């Protein structure tokens, strides 16, 4: 895997919205914090564009903005403003030639899973599964998960400790980090953005799904062979998960363990990344070591 250069004082971060609409005010504090960290910031016209629509502009406008930032040799990273939906509508029209010649960090999560998966699978370039603009709030500038993003993008050592969970499955694994939003990963199966999970640590998170939706999506991953040969499984936050009127009868953890019961790799639950306020950064495409025992879980980036 190819790693973009880490950022330093004076590096330039572009902010664009390639999916759903985001008010310009949402980006303002993120811009302030990034500048306080010593970076220059370039904000795309899609930030705050078309407030009456779901998307941050038309497909053509979002594509043009993202393409300009991918092509811009002055940019060192691109922070996606928000997720939602929309990247899969434009992914096949993106020209990654300039980006591959001068890789830069792609930062975000949720719908940005489309970019993470497409870039990892087709070009072998690392990306950051990270907070986006709305995560930068007044008063949380020193929050651990915000500083973790700064550490990740500047090349500091990264390690994570997660408390014990009765559903955890013990073991140790090493592998490339891959994955992201579960519904997007399922959406990408059979496309040019579909990921190869063999030998990798697979990270999954999601939000607002019914428990039977999660079961169905995990079953799709299983049937597609995505759970067969992974090195380890990292389950992030699944917030706002709901049951149906006639109860499904299994918890999230039980649904997950049912789908991987034929395998022996370690499984870590409650990793603090995803759609909740606490959202730690993972470097997709880089090797990690996952250790799970009765004291909890440890995840460490291997350089």
pLDDT per 10-residue tile (average), the chain, 303 residues: 96 97 94 97 94 92 98 98 96 98 98 98 98 94 96 97 97 98 98 98 97 98 98 97 93 98 97 97 98 98 93
Q: Please check whether residue 4 lies inside any domain of the structure.
A: no
Active-site residue 275, yes or no?
A: yes
Catalytic residue among 11, 19, 65, 110: 110
Contacts 24+ apart (CB under 8 A), 183-188: 183/209, 183/213, 183/217, 184/88, 184/110, 184/111, 184/113, 184/114, 184/117, 185/113, 185/117, 185/221, 185/226, 186/217, 186/220, 186/221, 187/88, 188/88, 188/113, 188/114, 188/117, 188/118
Residue 151 confidence (pLDDT): 98
Same-domain pairing of 141 and 188: no
Active-site residue 116, yes or no?
A: no
Same-domain pairing of 285 and 172: yes
Residue 13, helix vs strand vs coil? strand
Catalytic residue among 275, 288, 291, 297: 275
Residue 41 confidence (pLDDT): 98
Q: Domain ends where: 129, 154, 179?
A: 154
Q: Please check whether residue 144 lies inside any domain of the structure.
A: yes
Residue 84 confidence (pLDDT): 94
d(CA 17, CA 30): 14
Residue 71 confidence (pLDDT): 98
Same-domain pairing of 77 and 198: no
Q: Please check whether residue 6 lies inside any domain of the structure.
A: no
Residue 170 confidence (pLDDT): 98
Residue 231 confidence (pLDDT): 98
Catalytic residue among 117, 205, 288, 291: 205
Same-domain pairing of 191 and 250: yes
Active-site residue 110, yes or no?
A: yes
Overall pTM surpassing 0.95 (yes/no): yes
Structure tokens at 244: 């149906």
Q: Which domain holds residue 172?
A: 159-301
Same-domain pairing of 86 and 194: no
What's the domain count of the chain?
2
Residue 51 confidence (pLDDT): 82
Q: 181 phi and psi, to 5 degrees?
A: -70, 125
Domain of 230, CATH number, reads: 3.50.30.60
Same-domain pairing of 135 and 24: yes
């Amino acid at each position: 895997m190819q790693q973009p250069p880490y950022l330093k004082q004076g590096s330039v971060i572009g902010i664009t919205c390639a999916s759903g609409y985001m008010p310009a005010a949402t980006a303002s504090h993120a811009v302030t914090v990034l500048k306080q960290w010593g970076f220059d910031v370039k904000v795309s016209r899609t930030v705050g564009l078309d407030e009456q629509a779901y998307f941050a502009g038309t497909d053509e406008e979002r594509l043009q903005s993202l393409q300009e930032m991918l092509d811009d040799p002055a940019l060192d990273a691109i922070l996606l403003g928000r997720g939602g939906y929309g990247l899969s509508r434009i992914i096949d029209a993106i020209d990654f030639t300039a980006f591959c010649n001068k890789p830069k960090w792609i930062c975000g999560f949720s719908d940005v899973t489309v970019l993470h998966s497409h870039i990892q699978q087709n070009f072998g370039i690392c990306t950051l599964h990270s907070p986006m603009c709305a995560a930068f709030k007044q008063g949380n500038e020193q929050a651990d998960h915000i500083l973790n993003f700064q550490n990740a993008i500047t090349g500091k050592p990264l390690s994570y400790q997660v408390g014990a969970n009765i559903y955890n499955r013990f073991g140790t694994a090493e592998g490339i980090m891959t994955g992201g939003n579960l519904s997007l990963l399922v959406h990408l199966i059979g496309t040019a953005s579909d990921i190869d999970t063999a030998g990798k640590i697979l990270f999954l998170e999601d939000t607002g799904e019914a428990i039977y939706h999660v079961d169905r999506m995990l079953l799709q991953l299983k049937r597609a062979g995505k759970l067969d040969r992974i090195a380890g499984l990292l389950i992030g936050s699944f917030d706002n998960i709901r049951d149906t009127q006639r109860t499904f009868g299994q918890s999230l953890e039980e649904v997950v363990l049912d789908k991987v019961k034929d395998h022996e790799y370690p499984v870590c639950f409650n990793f603090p990344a995803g759609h909740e306020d606490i959202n730690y950064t993972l470097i997709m495409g880089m090797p990690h070591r996952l250790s799970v025992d009765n004291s909890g879980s440890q995840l460490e980036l291997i350089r």
